[in-house]
Amino acid sequence: MAKNYLENLLGEGERILLAARQHWFILVSSILFEIIIILIVFVGTIVAVTFAPDQVLLISIIGFVLLLIPLASMIHDILVWSNHQYIVTNWRVVQISGIVNKNVIDSSLEKVNDVKMAQSFFGRIFDYGDVEILTASELGVNAFKRIVDPVHFKTAMLNAKGSLERRENQSKALPDITGIISQLDELRKQGLLTDEEFQVKKTELLTKL
């Protein structure tokens, strides 16, 4: 099965932890005007047909053409909203936008310095808000506007950052097992260790990996 655009962005070993979008209020506010225009054109067409029954075909064609304009605009707004995604992976935070031409903004978790979240009164009621990620990269600030469930998004991102830091610290804390085994092998070759002692030490070191 063909991969979607998001899956193609993932690196080896990278996993999606959370995928979010802007709140549905954003979609409704974008298409509300188009919905009103569609209703006006539809009702106007019916009224026009009622008063001019001999021009049904012409009025219907004109009404259909007029309906196509706000309908096309509404479909475009829906596609823009559905293709605007905010992703948290085990490595980074990704913002994707665009229908055909894609715009991707990455913020590596290891470069995230601080996270700012803002929720208005209505934002707390309807569960949306703004999340700003302050990073040490050239991007500086990566802003996610009107995101749904911002508390969950922020928590997922901070948890992913904490997990990444713990893995890095554990990796740094592990000794150079391969290097130690090589040193022990040299001692064995020099006769300072027996083959049995070398195998015992090697087994002990390998169990730490």
* Contact residues for 108 (Cβ-Cβ < 8 A; gap 6+): 91, 92, 135, 137
Output the pLDDT for position 33: 93
Angle, nearest 10°, between helix axes 177-189 and 195-206?
A: 180
Output the pLDDT for position 68: 94
The mean per-residue pLDDT over the stretch 11-32 comes to 88
pLDDT in tens, 38-63: 999 999 999 998 888 888 899 889 98
pLDDT in tens, 118-129: 898 988 998 899
168 compared with 12, residue with greater pLDDT? 12
Handedness of CA 36, 39, 43, 44 (dihedral sign): positive
**Dihedrals φ, ψ of 132, to 5°?**
-115, 130
The CA distance from 118 to 19, in Å, is 19
Output the pLDDT for position 72: 94
* Contact residues for 91 (Cβ-Cβ < 8 A; gap 6+): 11, 14, 108, 109, 164
Percent of the chain past pLDDT 70, that is, above it, reads 91
Output the pLDDT for position 1: 35
Are 71 and 103 a contacting pair, CB within 8 Å?
Answer: no
Do the bridges between strand 103-108 and strand 141-148 make them parallel or antiparallel, or are there none, so unpaired? unpaired
